[in-house]
Structure 1
C-alpha cells in the first residue's frame, strides 16, 4: 500500500530541518514514543540505525529506523521495520517562500505477516491517518512550540 501526505509549515526550511533532524525533539511530536536508542552509524546519516520504543495503551512496539537516503535540507528517506510491517518513507522538504516549507511524505507499507496484510487491506486509512497526525503534531511543534508530551 502506498500513500502521500503533505503539509505546509510556516517556518524556514533551516528551522524545519533543525527540529526534524533532532532525536531529542521526537517526543514532542511522535505520539506514543517512550524512548530512542542509537544502534549504529552517525545519527541521521546514510545507513544510521536507531531503535524507537512506542507504547499505545497496553501495546508496546519496537521499531528500527534505518536512514536510506540523506540529502538534507531537501530529502531524508528512512525505513521503519517492526513486527509484521516495513514502512518505507521518503520525506521531501521544499522552500515555498522565505518563511514556509512544504513537507511531502511518501509512504509505502509492506506487510511481512499475514495479520498485517489483512489490516492493510481492511483498514488502509488507519496508516495514512497516523502519518497525518504525526505531521500535524510536528507542524504545531515547529510553528507554535506545542509539544504533545
Structure 2
C-alpha cells in the first residue's frame, strides 16, 4: 500500500508540474541562424520568392496567395503542410518586410500561433540569416506542452534554414540576378 501511495504521489507531482507549465510559461522562444555564401540581395530575393518555399521546406504541399499587397507587409497566404501523412492548413501573414534587411511572418496553424522574425546581414559576401521565433497556443494543454518541445521546434527550423542554404548555394544564378 505504501508503494502505491508513493507512485501516486510521484504521478501527481508530474501532473501538477505539467499543468503549471501552461500557467507559468506563456510563450516558447528560440533562435536559429545560418551563414550563406551568397550576397544578401540574392539570398533575400530567393527567400522572399514564394515559388521557392517548397524547395527548402519539403513538407509544404501547397502555397496559395490569399491577398498580396504592394510592399508585401500585410500579405496573407494559405499553406497546406503534410505532417506525417496528415494535412495541416495554416495561414501566414507578413507583419514586416524591409528588403534585404528583415521579414517577420505570423502563422496560425490549428492551436499554434507562431511568429518568425528573420534578420538578414551581410559581411564579405556572406549573408547571415538569424531567425527569432516564438510559439504560443490557443489551447491550454498545448501551451503546457510547447516548452518541452522547444528543442524539436528549433531543430526543425534550423533544418529549414540548412535546406535554404543548400538550395541557394547549389543553384545556378538566373539571368535576372545579373
TM-score (norm 1): 0.91
Deviation at 1:119, TM superposition (A): 2.7
Q: Deviations over 1:9-52 (max 9, x none)?
A: 00000110111111110111002110011001327711000011
Q: Does 1:63 align with 2:90?
A: yes
- Give the 5 Å matches for 1:115-134: 115-134=141-160
**Contact 1:10/1:143 (<8 A) preserved:** yes
**Contact 1:84/1:115 (<8 A) preserved:** no
Larger Rg: 2
CA–CA distance in structure 1, aligned partners of residues 44 and 167 of structure 2: 13
Deviation at 1:101, TM superposition (A): 0.2
CA–CA distance in structure 2, aligned partners of residues 54 and 21 of structure 1: 19
Deviation at 1:72, TM superposition (A): 1.2
Structure 1 stretches lacking a partner, 5+ long: none
**Contact 1:33/1:52 (<8 A) preserved:** yes
Partner of 2:46, secondary structure, is helix
Q: 1:88 to 1:121 in 2, by over 3 A?
A: same
CA–CA distance in structure 1, aligned partners of residues 128 and 92 of structure 2: 23
Deviation at 1:78, TM superposition (A): 0.8
Q: Does 1:94 align with 2:94?
A: no
> Which has the larger share of helix?
2
**Contact 2:93/2:107 (<8 A) preserved:** yes
Q: State the partner residue of 1:25.
A: 52
CA–CA distance in structure 2, aligned partners of residues 40 and 132 of structure 1: 28
Q: Does 1:76 align with 2:103?
A: yes
| Segments ≥4 residues shifted beyond 6 Å | none
* Aligned pairs, number: 145
